[in-house]
Amino acid sequence: MTKEELRGQMRAMRAELTGDKRDAAEQQAADHMMAFLRQKRPRRFYPFVSCRTEIDTLQLLQRVWKELPEIAVAVPRVEGNRMHFYEVRAMNDLHRGAMGILEPAGAEPVRAEDGVMLVPGLAYDERGYRVGYGAGFYDRYFAEYGLCKPNAGGVLKIGYAFSFQLVQRMEAQEHDVALDALMTEKGINFFG
Other beta carbons less than 10 A from residue 164's beta carbon: 16
* Rounded mean pLDDT, 14-43: 98
**192 pLDDT more than 90:** no
**24 pLDDT more than 80:** yes
CA 145 to chain centre: 17
**70 pLDDT more than 90:** yes
The predicted model scores a pTM of 0.95
> Beta strand 115-119 with 44-46: parallel, antiparallel or unpaired?
parallel
Give pLDDT tens digits for 47-60: 999 999 999 999 99
Q: Note the CATH number of domain 3-121+143-190.
A: 3.40.50.10420
Give pLDDT tens digits for 152-166: 889 999 999 999 999
Name which of 79, 81, 70, 140 is nearest 112 in CA terms.
140
**pLDDT for 105:** 87
Name which of 125, 187, 120, 131 is nearest 157 in CA terms.
120
